[in-house]
Amino acid sequence: MAGRTLFDKIWDLHVVDELGDGMQLMFVDRHLIHELSGHRGQLEIARRGLKMRNPELAVGSMDHVVSTAPGSRGGNAPWADKIIETFRAEGKKSGMKIYDIGQDGQGIVHVVGPELGFTLPGTLLVCGDSHTCTHGALGSLAWGIGTTELVHVLATQTIVQQKPKKMRVDFRGAPARGVVAKDLILALIGKIGTAGGMGYAVEYADEAIRGLSAEGRMTVCNLSIELGAKVGMIAPDQTTYDYLKGRRHAPAGAHWEQALAHWKTLPSDADAKFDTEHAIDCASLAPQITWGTSPEDVIGVDGRIPDHKPDALAYMGLAAGKPIAGTKVDRVFIGSCTNSRLPDLRAAAEVVKGRKAAKHVQAWVVPGSWRIKQDAEAEGLHEVFRAAGFEWREAGCSMCVAANGDYVAPLERCVSTSNRNFVGRQGPRARTHLASPAMAAAAAIAGEIVDVRGF
């Protein structure tokens, strides 16, 4: 019998029925819900006279439309407050657990799911957000869903899907100095493009992946959707188990031992076959930064701006052939479901400690959850950032999506630790460069894009 992949093992365990034409009905173990897409689904099942099938298998959090201004406890406008209140009220009716603003457990859904131990290896997890692929970092089969699918999951605890093909990406060798998880996944997107993973479930593997923390693995899996893949996964191992043990929603006692025994059967067999395979030589990489309006528009910070996308260059206000280093920046954003976890904040603080942000740069740090904010403050990280001239804000999606009053002004240039540099993503005519937390912090200090290895 041929070996099986991590993906196949989990997928096959969740098939409820064969529907024909390659479509399958799948059972959903975990459902993460945020207020922006979640309230629409809640109102729709209420309109249809339906009830939430399994509220105990769902967790809700406030993240997309909440204001992250210091001290804020709501939205930044009446429409946002209405969404928040609707989400609260409908959640109470259904019996779903919601971690509200200012509570331990509130934050960006793709940060709090793992943080709470709600995300577990071997589970099928969905959320009405494209970056749900993040949860694959813990060995979960996870993808984002639209509003129609969200309603279906709320009402039935199932989802209809067609099984994708399988891709494996080996990140070979130890990363060079200054190269971190964000650089690895950006380099892959630059190599195979934003359509390179379309139609695939991607498994990330090999030495560099095994060497990452659980949080670093989340960064890698987070950008799977930017690769064109709905699903990105990493096999659970001791790093995974150590991260999850003792967390609020994780199994405990005898249940932990039972779960652990199952999780250890999940990694891909040695002879498992993939439809496509790629490899990245991590030792040859420099810290990465984007230059255009797609995550695939990426180069090493020591490189020169390419000339093959004139429209992107015009939008970004850049000239082909010039070094990317030395490009003046106006804003720096450290946050988002990609890079707002405690190790991300520590890495940025290490760069800025004892230094000052350039006078013309407005720099923000937005923790990914209430708990991360408390833990960072317990370590004094907030004081490091404030002393350097950074603004320390409340937990939420913030400037990643610009749906909450946090945005980059027209023609301003921002180095961001988020996941998308699309036209208008961080605000109308905003110019975004994606990079790691350390690279973003270095840009704030230098006032321009700079190689963090010089720090």
User: Per-residue DSSP letters for 55-88?
Assistant: GGGEEEE--SSB--STT--SBSSHHHHHHHHHHH
Alpha helices in 127-213 (DSSP H): 147-156, 181-192, 207-210
Nearest Cα residue to 163 out of 18, 32, 262: 18
Q: What is the distance between the alpha carbons of residues 42 and 34, in angstroms, rounded to a whole number?
A: 11
Q: Span 225-229, mean pLDDT?
A: 98
> Looking at the predicted structure, is the pLDDT value of residue 1 above 80?
no
How far is the C-alpha of 139 from the C-alpha of 236, rounded, in Å? 5
For the chain, give the mean pLDDT: 97
Q: pLDDT band for position 143 (50/70/90)?
A: very high
pLDDT band at 403 (very low <50, low <70, confident <90, very high): confident
Q: Minimum mean pLDDT among 55-59, 73-77, 113-117: which range?
A: 73-77
Residue 73 in tokens: 């406890």
Query: For 376-398, what is the mean pLDDT?
Result: 98
What is the distance between the alpha carbons of residues 240 and 250, in angstroms, rounded to a whole number? 12
The fourth-level CATH superfamily of domain 289-454 is: Aconitase, domain 3 (3.30.499.10)
66 vs 97, 335, 379, 395, CA distance in Å? 18, 14, 25, 9
**Residue 296 above 90 pLDDT?**
yes
Give me the residue label for tokens 């907030």: 382
**Mean pLDDT calculated for residue range 292-304:** 98
pLDDT score recorded for residue 46: 95
Cβ partners under 8 Å of residue 149, min gap 6:
126, 128, 159
Q: Residue for token digits 């992107």?
A: 312
Q: Which amino acid is at 348?
A: A
What pLDDT score does 118 carry? Answer: 98
- Return the pLDDT at 370: 98
Q: Average of pLDDT values for 46-65?
A: 97
- This prediction has a pTM of 0.98
Residue 394: is its pLDDT beyond 80?
Answer: yes
Q: Quick one: DSSP state of residue 177?
A: T
State the average pLDDT over residues 159-176. 97
**What whole-number percentage of the chain has pLDDT above 90?**
98
Give the residue-averaged pLDDT of 80-108: 97
Q: What is the pLDDT of residue 174?
A: 96
Fold classification of 1-285 (topology level)? Aconitase; domain 3 (3.30.499)
Residue 223 has pLDDT above 90, yes or no: yes
Concatenate the DSSP letters of all residues of 274-333 into one string.
Answer: -SEEEEEEGGGPPPEEE-SSSTT-EEETTSB--SS-HHHHHHHT--TTSBSTT-B-SEEE
Average pLDDT (117-133) is 98
| Residue 29 confidence (pLDDT) | 98
Question: CATH 3.30.499.10 region(s) of the chain?
Answer: 1-285, 289-454
* Residues 6 or more apart in contact with residue 434 via CB below 8 angstroms: 182, 186, 289, 290, 295, 298, 416, 417, 418, 419, 420, 421
pLDDT at 248: 97
Instruction: Give me the pLDDT at residue 144, please.
Output: 98
Distances (CA, A) of 319 to 115, 296, 311, 341, 447: 42, 18, 11, 34, 19
Residue 24 has pLDDT above 90, yes or no: yes
Euclidean distance between the first and final Cα of the chain, in Å?
53
**In this structure, what are the phi and psi dihedrals at residue 316, rounded to the nearest 5 degrees?**
-80, -10
pLDDT digits (tens, 9 = 90+) for 173-217: 999 999 999 999 999 999 999 999 999 999 999 999 999 999 999
Q: Within 10 Å of residue 322's Cβ, how many Cβ atoms?
A: 12
Query: In the structure encoding, which two tokens stand for residue 31, read together?
Result: 């459902």
Is the pLDDT at 309 greater than 90? The verdict is yes
Specify the pLDDT at position 398: 97
| Confidence grade of residue 402 (pLDDT, cut at 50, 70, 90) | confident
The pLDDT assigned to 113 comes to 98
**Antiparallel, parallel or unpaired: β 298-300 and 288-290:** antiparallel
The pair of three-digit structure tokens given for residue 334, joined into one six-digit string: 């450290």
C-alpha–C-alpha distance, residues 452 and 450, integer Å: 6
- Portion of the chain with pLDDT greater than 70, in percent: 100
In the structure encoding, which two tokens stand for residue 336, read together?
Answer: 């988002």
Place of tokens 């699903």: 231
According to the model, what pLDDT value does residue 145 have?
Answer: 98
